[in-house]
Structure 1
Amino acid sequence: MTMVFDIVHFNYTDRPIFDAFIDGKAGGTTSPYPATGGGSISGVALVSGPKKVTWRLDGPPGMPRNGHTVSAKNVPMLTGVPPDARYLGVHIYPDTTVELIPSRHYPRPTEKGVALAGKGV
């Protein structure tokens, strides 16, 4: 089943990220928490099921691994989507796991992400 979402990236790591993709789509950029989740990428068509989520590390010049691509160590699933869902929150956690949360309204940070942000997990 194909669904169309406005994608909102949430970054709970301690550095900015860019080229955040879901199955090669929605290449977003986001600052670290708390300056995250402020923009969306509209009209992204995704098929339900397992998703491949990747992003590239950013930061000040000389920061280790700048430009390196990171893949989610889990396999985020896009399933059980309510029929009226319009948004997809893509929550990127410091342990390189990702959670996909569809919603009717603009997504908010997760309690898990807020608790982990800045702790270097």
Structure 2
Amino acid sequence: MAIVVEAVLFSYLDRPIFDVVVGDTDVGVSGVYPSTGGGTMSGARFSSGAQTVRWTLDGPQGMPRNGEVVHAQNRPELAPPSAGEHYLAVHIYPDNTVELIYSKNYPQFSPRGLQFAASRRSG
């Protein structure tokens, strides 16, 4: 089943990422947290079911692992959205896992992402 939504990318990594692909759909790029979640891909098309997710690491010249393609450690499941849910937030976490969360309004940082950010500030 095809799912068409507005996709918003959130990255909680300490470096920029690009070529973020969910299934077969490129959802764009993200800056370093908290400069993330500001862009929307309108009319993004996904297939329902388990999703593969990958992204490419970026950063200043000479930063270790620049250009490395990372594959999510999990395969988040994408079911059809509930009535009124028009946004799909793609949340990428420092442990290389991903959450796909629908919302009716423009998505915000996820509780799990905020926990990663808080632990980074206190660590």
Structure 2 unaligned blocks of 5 or more: none
C-alpha displacement of 1:27: 3.7
User: Does the CA-based 8 Å contact 2:11-2:37 persist in structure 1?
Assistant: yes
Partner of 1:63: 63
Aligned pairs (5 A) from 1:1-121 = 1-79=1-79, 81-117=81-117, 119=120
- Percentage of identical aligned residues: 47
TM-score between both structures, scaled by the size of structure 1: 0.92
SS in 2 for 1:5: strand
Q: 2:57 is matched by which residue type in structure 1?
A: L
Tell me, in whole angstroms, the C-alpha distance in 1 between the residues paired with 2:105 and 2:3: 16
User: Does the CA-based 8 Å contact 1:26-1:41 persist in structure 2?
Assistant: no
Structure 1 unaligned blocks of 5 or more: none
TM-score between both structures, scaled by the size of structure 2: 0.91
Tell me, in whole angstroms, the C-alpha distance in 2 between the residues paired with 1:51 and 1:84: 22
C-alpha displacement of 1:114: 1.3
Is the helix fraction higher in 1 or 2?
A: 2
Could you say what the CA RMSD is over the residues aligned between the two structures, in angstroms? 1.5
**How many residue pairs get matched?**
120
**CA deviation map 1:56-92 (0-9, x unaligned):** 0000000011011101001111126213221100000
User: Does the CA-based 8 Å contact 2:88-2:101 persist in structure 1?
Assistant: yes
Q: 1:98 is matched by which residue type in structure 2?
A: V
